[in-house]
Structure 1
Amino acid sequence: MFSRKEQLIKKTGKDGVGRYEFLKQLIHEFTTTTSLEAKRQTLANLANFAYDPINYDYMKQLHLVDLFLAQLSEDDEELIHFALSGLCNISCDPECKEYIISLNGINFISKFLLHRKEEVSLNALTTLFYLFESHAIVPKEIEQKVIQYEASSNPRLKNLGKVFLQTYIPSELVEK
């Protein structure tokens, strides 16, 4: 649910921990814990905060995009899943979108297309959908993978693949 600054101040109270400080504490917890389960839970919380545009400025100040992108090189599928979720959520912000692209994020994210875990696969394609809003050309290797989504028997994958192709690739250019 989206929030307004006035609502956050009212919820936080005069002496409470503000949103920026809370996000900072989550990031500190994520970077200092040795527990994989705590890392997963904390990253999932950070990804959820990336859903609300009121948090974008705080997340930019705290370099959260960098943290999400760094998790894409981990071996743990849950960390990858939550990192992609966070990138997907925050990529709606134009500045974050351009920052992700400037860090070669399209390449990193596209490696998770057609991942065996459905949620990872869906998050990767949805994030790329947002990122390509500012790019004119979808690389052939990504196009070929998205065509496979469209051919999937899984309705979620099929529908997302179809929307992606209809949005970014003219039908006469799709090689079937």
Structure 2
Amino acid sequence: MEYLQELQVPDLFLDMLAEENENFVEFGMGGLCNLSMDPECRDVILQSGGISLVTNCLSNGREETVLSTITTLMNLATPTTRSKISEPGILQCMLRFSLAESPRLRNLAAVFLQDCCSEEQVRQAQQQMQGLQTAIGIPLPKK
């Protein structure tokens, strides 16, 4: 990890999230997903504004990218970041994903809701979405 940080690999992966090439975005998100499990790398990602960059990838059309995004958000959850990671827009996105056809996406979204959010937060997000159980605004990823 020391060498990865010295070579600024987390920053490289974060930069890749803004690329137009979907392969680069998927690779960058996968790399961040792996790095975010390490507390030091997690801190580097957070200090670089990683939550907003990662959250933007929730609307990516590739299922693998979205799965890596959800996992990364779970890895970035700390007592100080939990409020940003469990904001209503993200919760509503996870509720939509929990209705997806893909079992991987559906199950991972359910784990996110269980592990990163309180029951009250989920209940409030569900109430806000009442009658809006579609993926309007956030395209579901293709398989």
Give the TM interval when normalised to the shorter protein.
0.7 to 0.9
Given the two structures, how large is their TM-score scaled by the length of structure 2? 0.80
2:115 aligned residue: 167
CA distance in 2, matches of 1:62, 1:97: 16
Structure with the greater relative contact order (CA < 8 A, sep ≥ 6): 1 or 2? 2
Deviation at 1:140, TM superposition (A): 1.7
Aligned to 1:92, the other structure's residue is in SS state coil
Deviation at 1:117, TM superposition (A): 0.9
2:11 aligned residue: 66
Letter in 2 for 1:165: L
Deviation at 1:173, TM superposition (A): 2.1
Given the two structures, how large is their TM-score scaled by the length of structure 1? 0.65
1:34 aligned residue: none
Percent of pairs with identical residues: 36
Moved over 4 A (4+): none
Tell whether 2:86 aligns with 1:136: no
Q: Which runs of 5+ in 2 are unaligned?
A: 127-143
Matches within 5 A, 1:27-176: 56-134=1-79, 135-137=81-83, 138-174=86-122, 175-176=125-126
- The Cα RMSD (Å) is 1.2
CA distance in 1, matches of 2:59, 2:18: 17
Aligned length: 121
Q: Which runs of 5+ in 1 are unaligned?
A: 1-55
Larger radius of gyration: 1
Deviation at 1:154, TM superposition (A): 0.9
Q: Does the Cα contact within 8 Å between 1:150 and 1:162 map onto a contact in 2?
A: yes
Aligned to 1:163, the other structure's residue is in SS state helix
CA separation of 1:114 and 1:151: change in aligned 2, threshold 3 A = farther
